[in-house]
Structure 1
Amino acid sequence: MKFEPAPLEDWMRLYYFAVDDDIGSSGVEDYSLAELRALLGIGNDELDAVVFRDSTSFGGEEVRTAIAARWGTGDPDKVMVTHGGSEAIYLVLSTLLEPSDAIVVTEPTYHTHTSIARSMGCDLRVWPLRPENGFRPDLDDLRAVVDGAKAVVVNFPHNPTGASLTPAQRDEFVAICAEAGAYLVWDQAFREMVIEGEPLTDPVHDYDKAISIGTLSKGYGLPGLRVGWAIGPEDVLRGTLDLRDRMTLHLSPLVELLATRVARHADLLVGPRMEQARRNLGLLRQWAADHPDLIDLPEPMGSASTFPQLLGHTDTTGFCHDLAREHRTLLVPGSCFGDPTRVRLGYGGPTASFTRGLDTLALAGEKARVQN
């Protein structure tokens, strides 16, 4: 397959490692290995005991058991461990879908949710998340496009908007997918990253055609560990092996050791990082109130990003280029998600850097406003 360009990945390749302050990413502050070992009590003896042999195609039993207990149904046979959530999405969608299948996706959306299906020749049906509603999902919009769909692909809390479902809406949403007989691919990359209340119940607990995609990259501050997973029907997971055997084969046993310990003590990592993100969101709300001529800020329900409109800009791409090149501050233009008037603004990073980034954004935004 030949894939369409991925503007988000192109942007991050260009600037992610070339800035001082990052207010565009969707995750939280990264952990170091020293911090991880201290939090989880991982000693030298455990690391020294790792033997660099192959693992199994689905992942070692210990890591699958830990993931199943934390995020799944408790059954390790319904878990496959992958190189990040991106590999899980690719394997699952490439296995489930055939050309001409109909698939429901949100708009805006993360690019892999659409590009794989589009490259296969599937019929993409849009479930719009409307800015006039603060990007809150409207289930009537889903009902209008779901009949006959092979799969519904979503992530809540949502990237890039931070929108989500209420618990009652989540139950209704699953019922709609079940009535349509569609597979539900539930990307739960931001599951624990909620502003208020508890995380939504994963549909693998109450829908037999649900496949849950997870990762340690977002809420756990471990993107470089490259650990993800798929939880779902055993026949779907087995079906991915034709691709897995030609790609990554399995994870490193050292990575599996760390992932196992994280899964067993996940709250120790995500808790402090989400406290920081909530504090940063409070700073962002005040900053937006202080700059009403610069930004229209939707209120996120979760994740660590929001999708505001930069007022006075019909296309924020040039502004974001200047912000990175001249001020070494990362902000992602909305063109990466199909709406060039907006930006993805991430608030999960270190507070000092986040505050500097907002100050830079205010100065650059005021300068651009005066020039226009």
Structure 2
Amino acid sequence: MPIAPALLEDWLRERYFTTTYDISSSGVENYTVDEVLSLAHTTAASLGDIVFRDSHSLGGEPLRAALADRHRTDPDSVIATQGSSEAVYLVMHALLKPGDEVVVQAPAYHALVEVAASLGCRIVPWTMRTEHGVVTNHDELLSLIGPHTAMAVVNFPHNPTGATVTEDQQTAIIDACAQHGTWLAWDNAFQHLVYDREPLPEPTHRYPRAISFGTLSKAYGLPGLRVGWALAAPEVLAGCVRRRDYTSLALSPLVEAVATHAVRHADALLAPRLAQATANRAVLADWLTAHADRVRADLPAGGVTAFPELITVPDVTGFADRLDREHGVLVVPGHCFGAPRHIRLGFGGASEELTAGLDRLAALLPDPGPR
């Protein structure tokens, strides 16, 4: 079956490179090569003896070992991929077939839905509701997971809303999947970007049919490396390799070397960006309060995106286009996530850029009018 257009990528494809104030992104501020190597207590000289030979189909041994140590698993349960999107693509192609029932979140990042749809799967959406950054209707998700559900796909903390679940809710989701032998695909890209709470436990430690996806693109500030991973049972990863033999084959050894440094020194990279995101989230909270008559949003509990509804804007996509073309401020219109009254706001970048972007956004918002 044909795969649906990736509306988010269509929107960002050119604007991402030409805008002045990017408050659209779902990741933190990007690091430079020198910054990564400095935080890893090494220099570019450490990369000089890399041989440009093909890497292993599952990823090079040092990177897989670093990821395994980081996530307290076995290297045989790790595949390193071209971003987490490739991991999602490979896993779904390995485990799903036409006609399978797949329960997904709404809204959701496109790859988590459309890859399964392109395989001819029957998509069952779960419309998520939240309050104070936490899901309030996880019971509705549990009711959708039944004996005919091949896979449940969730993303917590969530892109684009920043919502999450409690550890008890996570346990309930895992138990529902275990009851029916359902595969659980857990997008864990924002695991370590949480506020006023601990990161959720790694789901693959608790359920053998769970698959966890991660990436260096979001919390690590390294989207240009294009390194992601999946944690799963070795037999699942063997099926991924069969598909990878026809696509990317492997990662670059140079990319893997930088990624290994990043993972081995993850806390050094994560801590300053989490501190920056925490401060930016406070700026966002004040901004949302100040403009509550024109913007409605739940403050994120994790990640670096919010998904406010623009109450006074009749055409949000047109508004977002004008905001970029005339004012140099990039946001993502909600139609990219199936929610046309909303925009995705990213607050993980430079604080000055966030403040300038929010000021220009507020200036363009229509007044609510007389009550």
Paired letter, 2:96 = L
Paired letter, 2:347 = Y
Deviation at 1:269, TM superposition (A): 0.8
Paired letter, 1:265 = H
Q: Secondary structure at the match of 1:312?
A: coil
Partner residue, 1:275: 275
Deviation at 1:245, TM superposition (A): 0.8
Contact 2:177 2:183 in 1 (8 A): yes
**How far apart, in 2, do the equivalents of 1:4 and 1:63 lie?**
33
Contact 1:137 1:164 in 2 (8 A): no
Deviation at 1:273, TM superposition (A): 0.6
Contact 1:281 1:347 in 2 (8 A): yes
Superposition RMSD in Å: 1.5
Deviation at 1:284, TM superposition (A): 0.9
Partner residue, 1:231: 231
Partner residue, 1:312: 312
Percent of matched pairs sharing the same residue: 47
**How far apart, in 2, do the equivalents of 1:305 and 1:289 lie?**
16
Contact 2:134 2:301 in 1 (8 A): no
Paired letter, 1:14 = E
Contact 1:28 1:273 in 2 (8 A): yes
**How far apart, in 1, do the equivalents of 2:123 and 2:268 lie?**
39
Matches within 5 A, 1:1-372: 1-73=1-73, 75-130=74-129, 136-147=135-146, 148-366=148-366
Contact 1:158 1:303 in 2 (8 A): yes
- Segment drifting more, 44-53 vs 4-13: 44-53
**How far apart, in 1, do the equivalents of 2:134 and 2:46 lie?**
46
Contact 2:157 2:190 in 1 (8 A): yes
Contact 1:137 1:163 in 2 (8 A): no
Deviation at 1:102, TM superposition (A): 0.4
**How far apart, in 2, do the equivalents of 1:354 and 1:36 lie?**
23
Deviation at 1:258, TM superposition (A): 1.1
Contact 1:314 1:340 in 2 (8 A): no
Q: Secondary structure at the match of 2:149?
A: coil
Contact 2:130 2:163 in 1 (8 A): no
Q: Secondary structure at the match of 2:357?
A: helix
Deviation at 1:71, TM superposition (A): 2.0
User: 4+ residue runs of structure 1 moved beyond 4 angstroms?
Assistant: 131-135
Deviation at 1:28, TM superposition (A): 0.5
**How far apart, in 2, do the equivalents of 1:62 and 1:252 lie?**
13
Deviation at 1:113, TM superposition (A): 0.8
**Aligned residues, how many?**
368
Paired letter, 1:203 = P
TM-score when scaled to structure 2?
0.96
**How far apart, in 2, do the equivalents of 1:219 and 1:132 lie?**
23
Q: Secondary structure at the match of 1:17?
A: helix
Deviation at 1:204, TM superposition (A): 0.7
TM-score when scaled to structure 1?
0.96
**How far apart, in 2, do the equivalents of 1:244 and 1:314 lie?**
44
Deviation at 1:206, TM superposition (A): 1.0
Cα deviation code 1:109-159 (max 9, x no counterpart): 010111111111111111210267867252211122110201111110000
Deviation at 1:304, TM superposition (A): 0.3
- Segment drifting more, 216-225 vs 286-295: 286-295
Q: Secondary structure at the match of 2:56?
A: coil
Q: 1:122 to 1:72 in 2, by over 3 A?
A: farther
**How far apart, in 1, do the equivalents of 2:316 and 2:131 lie?**
19
- Segment drifting more, 92-101 vs 119-128: 119-128
Paired letter, 1:141 = E
Q: Secondary structure at the match of 2:220?
A: coil
Q: 1:26 to 1:340 in 2, by over 3 A?
A: same
**How far apart, in 2, do the equivalents of 1:280 and 1:44 lie?**
32
Deviation at 1:293, TM superposition (A): 2.0
Paired letter, 2:192 = E
- Segment drifting more, 309-318 vs 322-331: 309-318
**How far apart, in 2, do the equivalents of 1:52 and 1:215 lie?**
23
**How far apart, in 2, do the equivalents of 1:133 and 1:283 lie?**
17
Q: Secondary structure at the match of 1:105?
A: strand
Q: Give the gaps of 5 or more residues in structure 2.
A: none
**How far apart, in 1, do the equivalents of 2:202 and 2:178 lie?**
14
Deviation at 1:263, TM superposition (A): 1.1
Contact 1:135 1:161 in 2 (8 A): no
- Segment drifting more, 117-126 vs 95-104: 117-126
**How far apart, in 2, do the equivalents of 1:166 and 1:134 lie?**
10
Q: Secondary structure at the match of 1:29?
A: coil
Paired letter, 1:232 = A
Contact 2:142 2:173 in 1 (8 A): no
Cα deviation code 1:325-361 (max 9, x no counterpart): 0011101111111111111111101000000001000
